[in-house]
Amino acid sequence: MTRIQPTQLRDASEIAHFDAEADVIVVGLGCAGSSLLIEACDAGADVLLLERASGGGGTSANSGGLIYLGGGTPVQKAAGFEDDPEEMFKFLVAASSPGADEEKIRLFCEDSVEHFHWFEGQGVPFKRSFHPEPSMEAITDDCLVYSGGEDAWPYDRIARPAPRGHKPQVAGKAGPFFMRKLLEAVERRSARFQWDTLVETLVVQSDGRVVGVVARVAGETRCYRARCGVVLAAGGFSLDEAMVQRHVPQLALCSNKNATEGDDGRGIRMGQGAGGDVVRMDQGEVALPGTIPHRLSRGIYVNARGQRFINEDTYYGHVGIEALFVQEGRVHLLLDEATFERGLVRMEPAFVGETVEEVEREAGFPAGALQATVEFYNRDAGHGEDSQFHKRAECVVPLVTPPFALIDCTPESFIYACMTLGGLRTGVNGEVLTPDGTEIPGLYAVGRTAALFCGRGYAGSGISLADGTYFGRRAGRALAGMRS
Amino acid sequence: MTRIQPTQLRDASEIAHFDAEADVIVVGLGCAGSSLLIEACDAGADVLLLERASGGGGTSANSGGLIYLGGGTPVQKAAGFEDDPEEMFKFLVAASSPGADEEKIRLFCEDSVEHFHWFEGQGVPFKRSFHPEPSMEAITDDCLVYSGGEDAWPYDRIARPAPRGHKPQVAGKAGPFFMRKLLEAVERRSARFQWDTLVETLVVQSDGRVVGVVARVAGETRCYRARCGVVLAAGGFSLDEAMVQRHVPQLALCSNKNATEGDDGRGIRMGQGAGGDVVRMDQGEVALPGTIPHRLSRGIYVNARGQRFINEDTYYGHVGIEALFVQEGRVHLLLDEATFERGLVRMEPAFVGETVEEVEREAGFPAGALQATVEFYNRDAGHGEDSQFHKRAECVVPLVTPPFALIDCTPESFIYACMTLGGLRTGVNGEVLTPDGTEIPGLYAVGRTAALFCGRGYAGSGISLADGTYFGRRAGRALAGMRS
């Protein structure tokens, strides 16, 4: 059987028989598809869910489970943090520029508290607690973390810092628990679910309206008709090597892909086949956990020339993007005896020496370059400041205690966990847009099949689950509202 | 009259009458359309040229006129430079990575000498001479220049350096002369030319084949049929503000756009409407002429932290891309009395001081940061070397003679000349490809309507005219070969 390519659209007039019909067809049951399905069903729509795997979850179920929420959530209030939609907006715009999508960010921030309550209403619990270790979720069942460098330079000067990473209440990795709860909420709806169903392409009328999909089920071709619309909630393209090479080749170097089999770009390509524009295909999330635990931020990252390039105390996702895309992965972390931590996996030093000069020479830096960097940094640190990168005072200590160690943070040696962020261009309700900005009737995209809603870079951990769920819900309501 | 959007395709079955018909319809008469037309006509094809302006030339006629050619051209040989396709290939791959298109680069390099002779055959003359001032074309009628930093680090370690920027033989700016010669060659062909004709969208059959175009001529809608194919040679998207904001927002900061009215992205959007993929939409050419004349490379560029970030002696296009995309335009050039040049337009210092410390303070750098950079640089320079960025020895002199001057090279104050480089994804003969990699029958794209052939960044001045003409010719031959 010849595989149908995602862009080989099927003409509706050629399809004599549809195997099933629904108001809304959802392709993929990760966090975006789930949220959409819940809202569409609650608004009275008849939903048919098609999922290539044998059950729901997708890449969301494999995530850390942080959700980016703010504006004054009950958890923020209980933990004593002041936040409001305006400060959240200012942070997200700054962290997503240039090219931030202010319209979507505005909606997202204004509705964030309501979105928090919606999660709790679906059975996703959040402990009213703060976890002081930033960047990633707690291993305990504690909730709130700084997950985007909100309290680090330059964002601490742009918006009042508040932690916004919300971890559902469970010890350990929260993604599986979060998706289990969300899928339990999904199961309480009366949608129809069809597993092991690979959607191959879209069915389009002569006027361009998307009216259904063609899928493969147990080796057979099936056609499904959608009265209101088809939603592509089928993941990103992290696992399609050709697309990665074409659009964001740097990710090919990364050791870990935050992806499951759905992330093969088929959803994006189907949307393109129907005329959808793609944006920010060059962008990726890249987590470089070199400063986990956060005490390691007292070290300094240096590039191939021995120069610092970032405040080490910021979100490890900002570090990862800078390290991979700008410094081409040629990055080391310098620690001294006082800041080094023994027994951490993957933190074995590549070079150790009694002096900075010794590790500089061993690692092959230009003679004197690393020494000059450390000398300048230590002089600053003597005054408790970091005049170049404005690292917070508690992370600024002179690196003076031998031996000195260089951790090799190149992609060949260290963890780089990545995910694609580019995808279909969409309106505020998930409507797929053409390059001219017009809507493609009947076609929607949410989650990583759409481009990250806020803009360039990756504002903070939890932003992708928040994107999928919030804009998934919006699309669900919009679609349900289109029933005649 | 309502404007038709480029992605609003017309169905061939709805068109009762075509106003004209040809083997090949070419949309746009810049260097790519001209080269294509010449080759298609010479191979016997009947060509209809549609141009929105009142004559040919496009952005090519507004360019400096450099053409990137090598592999051992007669000019290279006469000037005493050894070159071959393999060294040219190594350079272009390195300068276009990650994600370099090795297949297209290989063809381009192997055919480059032949392409040079073809230009001369069309009446474009090249003086057998070398101009020692690199980066941009001579103001004399001299020909050959280093136009991509081939003799600068790191490329000088990767491939044997050879100058490959070829300027047609005319004093001053060569773009107008070059296009005049090419258009004279075009006029010697028997193609039909229709000016003031804005192609609005493509005509597509139900099987997806592109069979014509819809155009607006003097307020009227006209339809033209193509028997073999339609070629989009309609420029890039530098002048479409929405597309620039969406795909490469950094270019919005640039003072100068290398663009004419055709560069509104309509060609790209038409191709997308027909199912074409787009690649490298985030890429731009950015020329930052802060080291023109090249003696100014003895100064040092510093970023907002007072750090150097590039070897100042390299191609000013590499500097511009690094300055704009990586350093966010926060760039100054530091010179001392011995390296400063008086009387240059736009080179008025923003800050002058008797010591580095003084200009550092005035310009608001972190205290000591610029001094540390200069101290390290001067120590190296004392030994005639640049251990961090490997600037060539003749450009490395200690900056020690007061007064010191900082030139403000931010986009707000300095020349940044830019152009978009992303566009439709094409095969080696200009075939527009879908996201699945399949060809769209009857649709071709060349010049800046297609993505720059070689990969990321901008390898060197002259690469865009070379791209348009070489791949234009390939498409012309391929299309002519399809006549039944």
Using DSSP's 3-state secondary structure scheme, residue A297 falls into helix
Residues B134 and B227 in one domain: no
CB B232 within 8 A of CB B424: yes
A369 touches chain B (CB under 8 A): yes
Looking up residue A230, the CATH number of its domain turns out to be 3.50.50.60
The two tokens of residue B156 are 């000088």
Residues B232 and B105 in one domain: no
A437 touches chain B (CB under 8 A): yes
Q: B11 and A246 in contact by Cβ < 8 A?
A: no
Peptide bond into A98 cis (omega under 30): yes
pLDDT tier, B1 (very low <50, low <70, confident <90, very high otherwise): very low
- Distance of residue B457 Cα from the nearest chain A Cα, in angstroms: 13
Exposed (0-12), middle (13-18) or buried (19+): which is A65, by Cβ within 10 Å? buried
Residue of A282, A321, A421 to mutate, testing the B interface (most B Cβ within 10 Å of its Cβ): A282
B403 touches chain A (CB under 8 A): no
For residue B415, is it within any domain?
Answer: no
Last residue of a domain, one of B172, B195, B223: B172
Report the residue of chain B nearest A4, measured CA to CA. B436
Looking up residue A313, the CATH number of its domain turns out to be 3.90.700.10
Within 10 angstroms of residue A345's Cβ, the number of other Cβ atoms is: 6
For residue A82, is it within any domain?
Answer: yes
Per residue in B272-318, pLDDT tens? 999 999 999 999 999 999 999 999 999 999 999 999 999 999 999 99
Using DSSP's 3-state secondary structure scheme, residue A11 falls into strand
The two tokens of residue A157 are 């000067």
Q: B99 and A245 in contact by Cβ < 8 A?
A: yes
User: Can you give chain B as a three-state secondary structure string?
Assistant: CCCCCCCCCEEHHHCCCCCEEEEEEEECCCHHHHHHHHHHHHCCCCEEEECCCCCCCHHHHHCCCCEECCCCCHHHHHCCCCCCHHHHHHHHHHHCCCCCCHHHHHHHHHCHHHHHHHHHHCCCCCCCCECCCCCCCCCCCCCEECCCCCCCCCHHHHCCCCCCEECCCCCCCCHHHHHHHHHHHHHCCCCEEECCEEEEEEEECCCCCEEEEEEEECCEEEEEEEEEEEEECCCCCCCCHHHHHHHCHHHHHCCEECCCCCCCCHHHHHHHHCCCCEECCCCEEEECCCCCCHHHHHCEEECCCCCCCCCCCCCHHHHHHHHHHHCCCCCEEEEECCCCCCCCCCCCCCEEECCHHHHHHHHCCCCCHHHHHHHHHHHHHHCCCCCCCCCCHHHCCCCCCCCEEEEECCCCCCCCEEEECCEECECCCCEEECCCCCEEEEEEECHHHECCCCCCCCCCCCHHHHHHHHHHHHHHHHHHCCCC
B8 touches chain A (CB under 8 A): yes
Q: A272 and B269 in contact by Cβ < 8 A?
A: no
B246 touches chain A (CB under 8 A): yes
Residues B192 and B275 in one domain: yes
| pLDDT of B36 | 98
Whether residue A53 is predicted with pLDDT greater than 60 in this model: the reply is yes
Sign of CA dihedral A120, A126, A128, A133: negative
Share of chain B above pLDDT 70, in %: 100
Report the residue of chain B nearest A425, measured CA to CA. B246
For residue B345, is it within any domain?
Answer: yes
Q: A8 and B436 in contact by Cβ < 8 A?
A: yes
Per residue in A105-159, pLDDT tens? 999 999 999 999 999 999 999 999 999 999 888 999 999 999 999 999 999 999 9
| pLDDT of B343 | 82
For residue A1, is it within any domain?
Answer: no
Domains: count for chain A: 3
Contacts of B251 in chain A (CB under 8 A): none
A279 touches chain B (CB under 8 A): yes
The two tokens of residue B103 are 């297949």
| In the block, residue with structure tokens 């010479």 | B42
Q: A269 and B436 in contact by Cβ < 8 A?
A: yes
Residue A199 vs residues A25, A476, A479: alpha-carbon distances, Å: 11, 19, 20
CB–CB contacts below 8 A, A to B: 123
Share of chain B above pLDDT 90, in %: 96
Residue of A2, A201, A246 to mutate, testing the B interface (most B Cβ within 10 Å of its Cβ): A246
Residues B149 and B238 in one domain: no
Whether residue A2 is predicted with pLDDT greater than 80 in this model: the reply is no
For residue A312, is it within any domain?
Answer: yes
Last residue of a domain, one of B103, B138, B172: B172
Per residue in A379-421, pLDDT tens? 999 999 999 999 999 999 999 999 999 999 999 999 999 999 9
Whether residue A1 is predicted with pLDDT greater than 90 in this model: the reply is no
For residue A260, is it within any domain?
Answer: yes
| pLDDT of B345 | 73
In angstroms, rounded to a whole number, what is the distance separating the alpha carbons of residues B421 and B316? 17
Residues B156 and B181 in one domain: no
For residue A341, is it within any domain?
Answer: yes
Residues B58 and B191 in one domain: yes
pLDDT tier, B2 (very low <50, low <70, confident <90, very high otherwise): low
Share of chain A above pLDDT 90, in %: 96
Q: B269 and A436 in contact by Cβ < 8 A?
A: yes
Using DSSP's 3-state secondary structure scheme, residue A52 falls into coil
Q: B277 and A280 in contact by Cβ < 8 A?
A: no
In angstroms, rounded to a whole number, what is the distance separating the alpha carbons of residues B286 and A69? 38
Phi, psi of B142 (to 5 degrees): -70, 160
Residues A88 and A29 in one domain: no
Arithmetic mean of pLDDT, A310-314 = 98
CB A334 within 8 A of CB A351: no
Per residue in B196-211, pLDDT tens? 999 999 999 988 999 9
Whether residue A74 is predicted with pLDDT greater than 80 in this model: the reply is yes
CA B300 to chain centre: 26
Identify the helix (H) or strand (E) that includes residue A471. Answer: helix A463-480
In angstroms, rounded to a whole number, what is the distance separating the alpha carbons of residues B95 and B135? 15
In angstroms, rounded to a whole number, what is the distance separating the alpha carbons of residues B287 and B289? 6
Last residue of a domain, one of A151, A172, A193: A172
Its domain, for residue A141, covers 67-100+113-172
- Distance of residue B169 Cα from the nearest chain A Cα, in angstroms: 38
Encode burial over B378-397: b for 16+ CB neighbours within 10 A, e otherwise: bebbeeeebbbbbbbeebbb
Q: A206 and B250 in contact by Cβ < 8 A?
A: no
Arithmetic mean of pLDDT, A38-65 = 97
For residue A342, is it within any domain?
Answer: yes
To the nearest 10°, report the CA torsion of B135, B140, B141, B144. Answer: -30
Residues A216 and A321 in one domain: no
Residues A180 and A277 in one domain: yes
The two tokens of residue B413 are 């104050």
Q: What is the pTM for the complete model shown?
A: 0.97
B368 touches chain A (CB under 8 A): yes
In angstroms, rounded to a whole number, what is the distance separating the alpha carbons of residues B323 and B328? 6
B164 touches chain A (CB under 8 A): no
In angstroms, rounded to a whole number, what is the distance separating the alpha carbons of residues B151 and B393? 12
B254 touches chain A (CB under 8 A): no
Residues 176-215 of A with CB under 8 A from B: 206
| In the block, residue with structure tokens 């690393």 | A370
Residues A186 and A315 in one domain: no
Averaged pLDDT of chain B = 97
Per residue in B312-335, pLDDT tens? 999 999 999 999 999 999 999 999
Residues B231 and B310 in one domain: no
Residues A16 and A40 in one domain: yes
